[in-house]
Chains A and B, each alone.
Chain A
Amino acid sequence: MGLDDITAGWRHRYLAWASRYYDARLPADAAAEARKLDAQLLQWRGALWGTSLGAVGGVVGSVLGLVGAGFPWPLALLVSVLVMWGVLTAGLSAWLQPDKVLGGWGWRVVTRLTAIAFAGAMVGFVLGHVRRQGWPPRGDWPGLALEAARWALPVLAVAMLGLLVLMLLVAWARRQVLARELTELRLVSERDSAARQAAEARLKLLQGQIQPHFIFNTLSAVQHWVDSGDVRGAALLRELTAFLRGSTELLGRTDVTLAEEAAMVGHYLAIMQGRLGDRLRSQVHIAPELAQQRLPPGLLLTLVENAVEHGIAPSLQGGEVQVRAAPCAEGWTLTIDDSGLGLGPHWQDGVGLANTRQRLAHAFGERADLTITARAQGTAARIQIRPATGGAR
């Protein structure tokens, strides 16, 4: 068994243990971070060996120093290992949970460690003293304790300060790294989610606009009129082509002019009139001064489709759809009136309307309103778009 196998075995065992430990003790994000750190350290073998060698070197140096200062060997080893373990743990927890360390927790740990170390140092001094002078110690106990404390205090002050500085530094550095990563992540996710929302709305629009039943019902009529040599076939096919071309071109843009949108609506109404015959009558009137107003593509079309699909087509008598764009006291309005079936008692916004509201809000913010109201016979949809403040007053 080579060295690699041994390290692999240990690595595996360590990871299994660590994973359980992290899950039990750390918040989810810190646990994930710890695993990432582990994986990196373990993969980067130099770091692992370096850390291990550093720790061993530290322990050896510390033992030699303590023995030189008069500690017995076993105690020196124990103290050194404990101190090294403390340093590594402190460093690691500072790395993994910088916020906790920079908060009150770090102080508490350091004070506690200090108290333990202080007690340890005093016991060590007393033991050393006893070893040198024999048992029972000569002199009075309070005097001995005082001497021990005096001896241990500066060592301790330095140790505590060192530990504290180490932890704070590590935690602070780590927090900087995390903050940077977080900002980056937030930026990326904001950009992603905005892009996704826009893409979803557009996809819904495309899917909603070119519904299979619309296409196949229209093709069914075209097919029959072509088969039977009816001139209406050619006209309907021409309108369908123009409508599909308009849809695929306009719906891919971020905005279109009212004139372009009205042209697409015109093709749609011509198709539906061809299919429904005299059950559908329609009028489109766009005030010439509004022709170049810009709006999201498909907005008007969706409302006109609603009027036809849910108002006129299900009505036994059929009816009329009137589309009007006109200036008003504050900005301009777009109205779609139909004399069809009307809103049922349990009517509520469907997917199409929700999508329309969302896109309207995205394009105009607070400046636009969409209202759907029942008419004596049928339904009225009204969009009001107010001018941007500053331009208006």
Chain B
Amino acid sequence: MSPLTALIADDEEAPRAQLRAALAKAWPELGVVAECVNGVDAWDAFLEHEPAVCFLDIRMPGLSGIEVAQRIDGRVPVVFVTAHGDHALAAFDAGAVDYVLKPVDPERLGQAVARARSRLAQPEHGAAQAPGVADLLARLAAEVGHQARRPATLDVIQAGVGKEVRLIRIDEVIYFESDARYTRVVHEGGEALIRTPLKELLAQLDAQRFWQVHRSVIVNHRHISAAVRVDEGNMHLTLRGRPEKLPVSRHFQGLFKGQ
């Protein structure tokens, strides 16, 4: 059996450290594989490490904890760790999403840990998320979201090429791909490299139009021509009028189900 792993995310150092210390006592065999300082890191680390359970602060830069939970979509138990005594939170008292208030009380954390463990013990825990949780998350997102300013949605990408800065309209972009320290922007007029990491770009893109299909690939869905299943675990996309094939990782294969 693989070791139990956890992801924790809080944009403040002290509560993050406090949670880590409290978890070490409440759930000693749990290994914290990622400590994240914002929402975009948390989502990226989730895709990278595939932890068994996530502890997320709600108010975080980039993506909020709620948005990260929406992307996790019930695949693993999520526990919100928050200073909000929000009414909407009370609805999550059990199931795929739970919550603990800050400062963390060891007893309450113990309960959340017990619930997460019993959920993990059920063999089908990852199969589907409890009905209604998506709605509750959407409601909570609306409630918390209206108080928070969000990064503006990108209209134009500015890419430095030699001595000039090229402006690439966002709807001309075909896909984005992580490339070491840069992000490669493939667009109708060619290619460019930008410094903004893909995970940060994700929070500034219209999710209806730009689909993340892999930890390192975001594609404009208008350019997808087909999703091809290669074998049990592998899938790739072919694009309209372009030769390259883009990988679809396991987490995103649910986007392409056929009807």
User: Chain A: residues with CB nearer than 8 A to chain B?
Assistant: 212-213, 215-217, 219-221, 223-225, 227-228, 232, 275-277, 279, 310-311, 313-316, 341-345, 347
Q: How far is the CB of A275 from chain B (nearest CB, A)?
A: 5
The 5 closest A-B pairs by CB, nearest first: A221-B14, A224-B18, A216-B83, A220-B103, A220-B102
Q: Is the CB of B14 within 8 A of A216?
A: no
Knowing A216-B103, A220-B102, A313-B59 are in contact, say whether A344-B14 is a contact too (CB < 8 A): no
Name the residue of chain B whose CB is nearest to the CB of A343: B149
Question: With the chains together, A204 CA to B191 CA distance in Å?
Answer: 53
Within 8 A of A (CB), among B3-19: 11-15, 17-18
Which residues of B pack against A, CB within 8 Å? 11-15, 17-18, 21, 38, 40, 59, 61-62, 82-85, 101-104, 148-153, 200
Q: Which A residues are CB-close (under 8 A) to B151?
A: 314-316, 341
17 CB < 8 A contacts A-B = A213-B84, A220-B14, A220-B18, A221-B15, A224-B15, A275-B14, A276-B11, A277-B12, A279-B11, A313-B59, A314-B59, A314-B149, A314-B150, A343-B149, A344-B149, A345-B152, A345-B153
Q: How far is the CA of A169 from the CA of B15 in the complex (A)?
A: 79
Q: Please indicate which of the listed interface residues A217, A279, A311, A315 has the most CB atoms of chain B within 10 Å of its own CB.
A: A217
Contact yes or no, A212 B21, CB < 8 A: no
Pick the contact of A316: B21, B85, B148, B200 (CB < 8 A). B200
Find A224's partner among B14, B82, B200 (CB 8 Å cutoff).
B14
Q: How far is the CB of B143 from chain A (nearest CB, A)?
A: 13
Known: A275-B14, A316-B62, A341-B149; 12 extra A-B contacts, CB below 8 A, are A215-B83, A217-B12, A217-B83, A220-B15, A223-B18, A227-B18, A228-B17, A279-B11, A310-B148, A310-B149, A314-B59, A315-B151
- Given the complex of chains A and B, what is the CA–CA distance between A366 and B148 in angstroms? 31
Q: How far is the CA of A232 from the CA of B82 in the complex (A)?
A: 22
Name B197's closest neighbour in chain A (CB-CB): A316
* Cα of A344 to Cα of B148 in the assembled complex, Å: 10
B14 with A213: CB separation less than 8 A: no
Identity of the chain B residue whose Cβ is nearest the Cβ of A212 in the assembled complex: B85
- Of all chain A residues, which has the CB nearest B81? A220
Q: Given A314-B150, A347-B149, do A213 and B12 touch, yes or no (CB 8 Å)?
A: no
Which of B82, B102, B200 has the most chain A CB within a 10 Å cutoff? B102
Contact indicator B152/A344 (Cβ below 8 Å): yes
Q: Give every chain A residue within 8 A of B11 (Cβ-Cβ).
A: 276, 279, 313
Q: What are the residues of chain A within 8 A of B200 when measuring CB–CB?
A: 316
Contacting residue for B102 out of A216, A342, A343, CB 8 A: A216
Nearest B residue to A279, CB-CB: B11
Asked if A315 and B21 sit within 8 Å, CB to CB, the answer is no
- Cross-chain contact B14 with A316 (CB below 8 angstroms): no
- Residue contact B59 to A219, C-beta cutoff 8 Å: no
Contact B21 A228 (CB under 8 A): yes
Give the Cβ gap from A307 to chain B, nearest Cβ, in Å.
11
**Which residue in chain A gives the minimum CB-CB distance to B85?**
A212
B residues in contact with A228, CB < 8 Å = 17, 21
* Chain A residues near B62 (CB-CB < 8 A): 316
Once the chains are docked, how many angstroms separate the CA of A392 from the CA of B83? 49
> How far does the Cβ of B195 sit from chain A's closest Cβ, in whole Å?
12
Tell which of A221, A227, A275, A343 touches B21, judged by Cβ atoms closer than 8 Å: A227
A221→B84 contact, CB < 8 A: no
Whole-angstrom CA separation of A315 from B153 in the bound complex: 14
Instruction: Identify which of A215, A223, A279, A342 contacts B152 (C-beta below 8 A).
Output: A342
Q: What is the CA–CA distance of A22 and B200 in the complex, to the nearest angstrom?
A: 71
Interface centre among A221, A314, A315, A342 (most CB of B within 10 A): A314
CA distance A227 to B22 in the complex (A): 11
Counting chain B CB atoms within 10 Å of each CB, the highest count among A219, A220, A225 belongs to A220
**B94 CB to nearest A CB, Å:** 23
A343: which B residues are within 8 A, CB to CB? 149
- The CA-CA distance from A343 to B150 in the complex, in Å, is 9
B189 to chain A, nearest CB (A): 26
Q: Are B150 and A344 in contact (CB under 8 A)?
A: yes
- Nearest-Cβ distance from residue B222 to partner chain A, whole angstroms: 23
CA separation between A60 and B21, bound complex, in Å?
A: 101
A342 to chain B, nearest CB (A): 7
Are B21 and A217 closer than 8 Å at their CB atoms? no
How far apart sit A277 and B14, CA to CA, in the bound complex (Å)? 10
Give the complex CA separation of A347 and B151 in angstroms: 12
* A254–B152 alpha-carbon span in the complex (Å): 39
Residue of B nearest to A221 (CB): B14
A313 to B10, CA, bound (A): 12
Interface centre among B13, B17, B21, by most chain A C-beta atoms within 10 angstroms, is B13
Known: A220-B18, A227-B18. A314 touches B12 (CB 8 A): no
Q: In the bound complex, what is the Cα–Cα distance between A223 and B101 (angstroms)?
A: 13
Q: Which residues of A contact B18 (CB under 8 A)?
A: 220, 223-224, 227
A118 nearest CB across to chain B (Å): 75
A276 to B61, CA, bound (A): 12
A368 to B242 CA separation, bound complex (whole angstroms): 61
CB nearest to A340 among chain B residues: B149
Within the assembled complex, what's the spacing in Å between the Cα atoms of A148 and B149? Answer: 92
CB distance from B68 to the nearest CB of A (A): 14
With A316-B38, A344-B152 already in contact, the answer to whether A213 and B17 are too (CB < 8 A) is no
Assess the B17–A224 pair: CB atoms within 8 A: yes
Q: Which of B38, B85, B104 contacts A220 (CB 8 A)?
A: B104
Pick the contact of A213: B21, B83, B149 (CB < 8 A). Answer: B83
Q: Which partner residue on chain B sits nearest A350 by CB separation?
A: B147
Q: How far is the CA of A223 from the CA of B62 in the complex (A)?
A: 27
CB distance from A225 to the nearest CB of B (A): 6
Residues of chain A contacted by B13 (CB below 8 angstroms): 277
A225 CA to B17 CA, complexed, in Å: 9
Q: Which residue of A is nearest B39, CB measured?
A: A316
**In the bound complex, CA of A275 to CA of B83 (Å):** 14
Q: Is the CB of A315 within 8 A of B12?
A: no
Q: Which residues of A contact B59 (CB under 8 A)?
A: 213, 313-314
